[in-house]
Copies of this chain bind each other. A is one copy, B any other.
Amino acid sequence: MKDLPDAHHDGAAEPGAQRQPRGTGRRLHGAIAYKLGVAILSGEYAPGDVLSSEVEFSEALDVSRGAYREAVQVLAAKGLVESRPKAGTKVLPRERWRLLDPDVLAWAFAGEPDMQLIRDLFELRAVVEPAAARFAAERRDREDLRKMKEALAGMRRHTLATDAGRAADRDFHDAILQATRNDAIKMLSASIGAAVHWTTQYKQRARALPRNPIPDHAKVYDAILAGDGDAASAAMRVLVDLALEDTRSVMPGAESGEGA
């Protein structure tokens, strides 16, 4: 094969990764899936388009049919394509895509991110995260609170400009999700959170934040500590809105005037 940017650590592709120019980094079919996935998500192949035949495509990529087929199975598993004999492998309509799959999100954000998708994700986030904070406030135990407190201290110590600080930020939010005692919410929130993080962080790494985020995080913690669901929900809502603003300031054409 030639020069596919390959996904690393655990198959979860990251945008703009491209570790080794020589494609020895990760699994071959993973790299192919990444390439195809990005191509589809970026609109290079439109829904309804039929990919070149199996042999043709695999020869073009200079890989065996087996490796190519495995990659296609991955895409099919995520609802991006469908293969049928005689008809070929065609890109499915967007409704069938598993848009909330972490890999699909990674592929979506690998290229130029779609503003509409970002808006949709933030909207969903604004719905789910406050609810998660509410559940956390109602169900947290001592251990959850300890983790949150520790993470918050970490955020204070290092700032969000450092890697350690951002790790602490992640820990804080992870602790909240853990406290929801709800696997579905946990997973959904983690996926969206990671995806959204990429947009702000990848584009523009260390830059002055529009506002010190610590007090807002502390408000969430205090509410969860007090077991006050309403307050936790409201405080988290502020955090999400803040993140949205942060993202919006980075994006180029970002205006859509609705405040739900």
Q: Residue-by-residue, is A77-97 near B (CB-CB < 8 Å gives 1, otherwise 0)?
A: 111001000000000001111
**Alpha-carbon separation in the docked complex, A78 to B182 (Å):** 19
Residues A73 and B77 in contact, CB atoms below 8 Å apart: yes
Residues A131 and B138 in contact, CB atoms below 8 Å apart: no
Pick from B77, B127, B128, B182: contact of A77, CB under 8 Å: B77
A35 within 8 A of B: no
| Residue of B whose beta carbon sits closest to that of A185 | B124
A134: chain B residues at CB < 8 Å are 260
A102: chain B residues at CB < 8 Å are 79, 98
* Given the contacts A70-B69, A123-B135, A260-B135, A187 and B95 also touching, CB distance less than 8 Å: yes
**Alpha-carbon separation in the docked complex, A182 to B128 (Å):** 14
Q: Residue-by-residue, is A118-136 near B (CB-CB < 8 Å gives 1, otherwise 0)?
A: 0011011001100100110
Q: List 18 A-B contacts (CB under 8 A).
A: A10-B96, A29-B73, A66-B69, A70-B73, A73-B73, A73-B77, A74-B76, A98-B98, A100-B187, A116-B183, A117-B183, A117-B184, A123-B182, A124-B188, A127-B127, A127-B185, A128-B128, A138-B260
Q: Is the interface on chain A under 10, 10 to 19, 20 to 34, or 35 or more residues?
A: 35 or more
Pick from B66, B79, B124: contact of A182, CB under 8 Å: B124
Copies of this chain held together in the complex: 2
Q: Residue-by-residue, is A93-109 near B (CB-CB < 8 Å gives 1, otherwise 0)?
A: 01111111111000000
**Alpha-carbon separation in the docked complex, A10 to B186 (Å):** 28
A70: chain B residues at CB < 8 Å are 69-70, 73
A43 within 8 A of B: no
Residues B120 and A183 in contact, CB atoms below 8 Å apart: yes
Residues B11 and A182 in contact, CB atoms below 8 Å apart: no
Residues A103 and B77 in contact, CB atoms below 8 Å apart: yes
Interface centre among A10, A94, A120 (most CB of B within 10 A): A120
Pick from B29, B73, B98: contact of A101, CB under 8 Å: B98
* Given the contacts A66-B66, A69-B70, A184 and B121 also touching, CB distance less than 8 Å: yes
Q: Residue-by-residue, is A50-82 near B (CB-CB < 8 Å gives 1, otherwise 0)?
A: 000000000000000010011001101111001
Residues B120 and A185 in contact, CB atoms below 8 Å apart: yes
